[in-house]
Amino acid sequence: MQGFAGVMWLLSMALIVFSGFALFDAAIRREDAYRAADKKTKPFWLIILGLAFVVNLLFPILSFLPIIGLIATIVYMVDVRPAVRALPGGGRGHRGSSSDGPYGPYNGGR
């Protein structure tokens, strides 16, 4: 029985890390990138992923709530994140200027 408990503990830790990474990733993306990618808003995803993270911390893996949180996290990671990252600048906090080329800023040959 200890082996099963150990496996469940590792699975629970993996879910916490996975949902934590998704929450962090959603937090560092620009708000306008979500709208440009035609996904829900940034606050929506922060709330959903934050709830998933808290549920994974508080409830055991055998409950249905962590499974719902896992589904939300997977949707973010396979649908929303790639769409937001595909935008120019990767959807990160900085904004490029109008002189940015595909390999970085264009400085006029200087």
- Would 42 be classed as within a structural domain? yes
**pLDDT tens digits, one per residue of 5-18:** 888 889 999 999 99
- Would 78 be classed as within a structural domain? yes
- Would 108 be classed as within a structural domain? no
The more confident residue out of 78 and 101 is 78
- Would 96 be classed as within a structural domain? no
**pLDDT tens digits, one per residue of 62-100:** 788 889 999 999 999 999 999 999 888 766 655 555 556
The tokens describing 70, both together, are: 């896992």
Give the model's pLDDT for residue 103: 62
Instruction: Give mean pLDDT, residues 44-63.
Output: 90
The tokens describing 35, both together, are: 């709208």
Give the model's pLDDT for residue 60: 76
- Would 73 be classed as within a structural domain? yes
Q: How many domains does one find in the chain?
A: 1
pTM of the model: 0.76
- Would 84 be classed as within a structural domain? yes
Distance CA 110, CA 102 (A): 17
- Would 34 be classed as within a structural domain? yes
- Would 17 be classed as within a structural domain? no
